[in-house]
Amino acid sequence: MYEGPIQDLIEEFGRLPGVGPKSAQRLAFHVLTMDAADAERLARALVAVKEKVRFCVRCFNVSEQDECRICRDARRDPSLLCVVEEPRDLMAIEKTGEFRGRYHVLGGAISPIDGVGPDQLRVAELFARLGEEDITEVVLATNPNSEGEATASYLARTLKAMEVAVSRIASGLPVGGDLEYADEVTLGRAFAGRRAL
Amino acid sequence: MHLDRLELVDFRSYARAELALGPGVRVLVGANAQGKTNLLEAIHYLSVGASHRVALDAPLVRAGREAAVIRAGARVDAGTRALSVELELRASGRNRARVNGQPQPRVGDAIGRIRSVLFAPEDLTLVRGDPSDRRRFLDDLLGQRRPAYLVARQEYERVLRQRNALLRQVRAGQRGDTLDEWTAALVRSGAALLAARIAVAHALSGPADAAYRELVASAPGGKASGGVRLTYELSTGRGVTAEPGFGVPDVGGLAAELQAGVAAVAPAERERGLTLVGPHRDDLILHVGELPAKGFASQGESWSLALALRLASREVLREVGEDPIVLLDDVFAELDDGRRARLADRCEEFEQVLVTAAVDADVPLEGPRHAVLGGAVTSEPVARESLSRGDDHTMPT
């Protein structure tokens, strides 16, 4: 145990995801050797992220204003809506440049173990948007794991009753990968989702 | 395949051990609690990625050490190619693995390169234990035959835990809006497991029957006419009797059966907050003659049946890929002279078989002997006469 502030900092770093006790110690001692100005900039960034970053009132992406950059962008196609679990997933799709519609961030996936059902996600908000906005197709881009699949099928069941086209992103083999190394579940899904050429 | 070298560092009771091995029979002789089983456990770990005795890796690392190392050198492709696998088991933190000197990004990629079938005294639970022991037998065999099976099983277990959590919430009066979704996921992933398990039960049935008949054939009072029959019993109550040569079961039909099974128990599931239908509640029923082995088989019959199942596993594994190494832990002492002799005959056909015994004379097999004493093993074979004299074979340090 170290004394005072350095121990406090080690413990704070240790609370972060993916940071073990040894990494926390290394980070804390790194901060100790930083220029005072650099340390202050880090501290300001930490405070600012909690004070200034909000969630978009429309799609729940992280935003600096009421509405996020994407929802304000008039060039985006308002008839296409892509549903994702987290803002990180949204950024991943943005980087592809393939999608020019807007988003809806659920804030997670259905997971009874964690006590997360539709009421704990922004599901009601999603259904409300379909009434208010001129949306013709919803793309479900939740993760291809048990929880993401359950979330997608739950949403699809309800959305279909609202007379909107619903699609699910394809899952299957990674580009540049080898068939022989694919696991049976992935390969099985790739087969089930095969397309005519 | 066969091992030509085994090296252990800080594994269980061994600070360091090195064995020069070769094809055919090897016998590891030593009194109880000297470390014979640890050697077989290390080899089998390389095959299945787990110990047959403990659930966690920590007990495998010698007390006070950070990591244990298992290094195995093998000959494959009828002895024409070398294969080496090295596994570092850490008391805490991630394990590491190398294959032919190359570090593997995932430890799982190194597991199963060395193929083996282990028969140990614990295997009596295959006959006398709970259904979960027999499900694990099928799952371990499938995992070694098709590593992707383990991925499918993890997915099923994840879905099962989610569905159980939701059923508990429903029982407590909360809404279960997504129960249909979790049921669909359970049926989909469950049917895939069922199809694989039933297929492997079919594949086992012929070899298990043959191995059992061979072992007990002329035993005094043996029920020579009573063969072994395997029945995969689904949680829906239906039993599928395994037949040699049967093909792959119809996954769609199994899914429909599971779906109907879940619908039938829906009220009970909500009441108990538990998933009551699915491959996690199945069993493999073993019959000797007309009687179920559990509860009716004698000690000797149970022992022979468990051994027959392991010998049958070897047949199933060698259908695809290398011949597995056969590991027999302390089995000869439990058999009468007739069964000993017949098992010894069987051992002659294996590419490699490693046998442990407390008493050398119990093993009616020719082949080099290694002496195991006090957490050390002789790296080269020793003379058989010295074993019966009880010479001290402690390794020079």
Q: Please give, rounded to a whole number of angstroms, the shortest distance from the CA of B194 to a CA of chain A.
A: 15
Nearest CB to B148; choose among A147, A151, A183: A183
- The complex's ipTM works out to 0.76
Q: How much is the pLDDT for B336?
A: 87
Predicted TM-score of the model (pTM): 0.84
- B341 and chain A: CB distance < 8 Å anywhere? no
Centre a 10 Å sphere on the Cβ of residue A146 and count the other Cβ atoms it contains: 26
CA angle B213, B216, B219 (to 5 degrees): 140
> Domain locations in chain A?
5-52, 74-168
B151·A183 Cβ contact <8 A: yes
Q: Which residues of A touch B149 (CB under 8 A)?
A: 184
Residue B92's contacts (CB-CB under 8 Å, 6 or more residues apart) are: B58
Structure confidence by residue, pLDDT tens digits, A8-64: 999 999 999 888 889 999 999 999 999 999 999 999 999 998 888 899 999 999 998
Low-confidence ranges of chain B (pLDDT < 70): 218-225, 388-397
Q: Please give, rounded to a whole number of angstroms, the shortest distance from the CA of B1 to a CA of chain A.
A: 22
Distance CA B198, CA B190 (A): 12
Render the burial of A28-66: b for 16+ CB within 10 Å, e for the rest.
beebeeeeeeeeeeeeeeeeeeeeeeebbebbbbbbeee
Residues in chain B: 397
Q: How much is the pLDDT for B261?
A: 96
Higher pLDDT pick, A149 / B383: A149
Q: In what order do the strands lie in the sheet with B67-76?
A: B14-20, B2-11, B67-76, B81-90, B96-99, B102-103
Nearest CB to B151; choose among A112, A146, A184: A184
**Element (H or E) spanning B29, and its range?**
strand B24-29
The answer to whether residues B332 and B362 touch, using CB atoms and an 8 Å cutoff, is yes
Q: Which residues of B touch A113 (CB under 8 A)?
A: 161-162, 165
- A79 pLDDT exceeds 70? yes
Q: How much is the pLDDT for B393?
A: 59
- A95 pLDDT exceeds 80? yes
Distance CA B122, CA B53 (A): 8
- B152 and chain A: CB distance < 8 Å anywhere? yes
Write out the DSSP string of chain A.
---HHHHHHHHHHHTSTT--HHHHHHHHHHHHHS-HHHHHHHHHHHHHHHHH-EE-TTT--EESSSS-HHHH-TTS-TTEEEEESSHHHHHHHHHHT---SEEEE-SS--BGGGTB-GGGTTHHHHHHHHHHS---EEEE---SSHHHHHHHHHHHHHHHTTT-EEEE----PPTT--GGGS-HHHHHHHHHT----
A184·B181 Cβ contact <8 A: no
- B169 and chain A: CB distance < 8 Å anywhere? yes
Tell me whether residue B136 is exposed, middle or buried, using C-beta atoms within 10 angstroms of its C-beta: 0 to 12, 13 to 18, 19 or more. Answer: middle
Q: Which of residues 117-176 of A touch B (CB under 8 A)?
A: 117-118, 145-147, 149-151, 153-154, 157
User: What average pLDDT does chain A have?
Assistant: 91
- Residue pairs between chains A and B whose CB atoms are closer than 8 Å: 56
A154·B178 Cβ contact <8 A: yes
Q: Which residues of B touch A157 (CB under 8 A)?
A: 180-181
- A152 pLDDT exceeds 80? yes
Q: How much is the pLDDT for B353?
A: 97
**Element (H or E) spanning B328, and its range?**
strand B325-329
- B149 and chain A: CB distance < 8 Å anywhere? yes
Q: How much is the pLDDT for B392?
A: 59
Task: Give all domains of chain B, ordered by start, each with its CATH number.
Answer: 1-115+323-397 (3.40.50.300), 124-321 (1.20.1050.90)
Structure tokens at B326: 């056969």
**Element (H or E) spanning B327, and its range?**
strand B325-329
Q: In what order do the strands lie in the sheet with B228-233?
A: B239-241, B228-233, B283-288, B291-292
Q: Which residues of A touch B182 (CB under 8 A)?
A: 112, 150
B162·A112 Cβ contact <8 A: yes
Q: Which residues of A touch B274 (CB under 8 A)?
A: none
Q: For every residue of A112-154, which 3-state class applies, written as one string?
A: HHHCECHHHCCHHHHHHHHHHCCCCEEEECCCCCHHHHHHHHH
Q: How much is the pLDDT for B397?
A: 42
- B303 and chain A: CB distance < 8 Å anywhere? no
- CATH architecture type of domain A5-52: Orthogonal Bundle (1.10)
Q: Which residues of B touch A127 (CB under 8 A)?
A: none
Structure tokens at A64: 């600096």
Q: Please give, rounded to a whole number of angstroms, the shortest distance from the CA of A50 to a CA of chain B.
A: 33
Structure tokens at A93: 């799709």
Amino acid at B282: D
Structure tokens at A105: 């961030």
B370 beta partners: B28
The highest-level CATH class for domain A74-168 is: alpha beta
Nearest CB to A185; choose among B152, B177, B184: B152
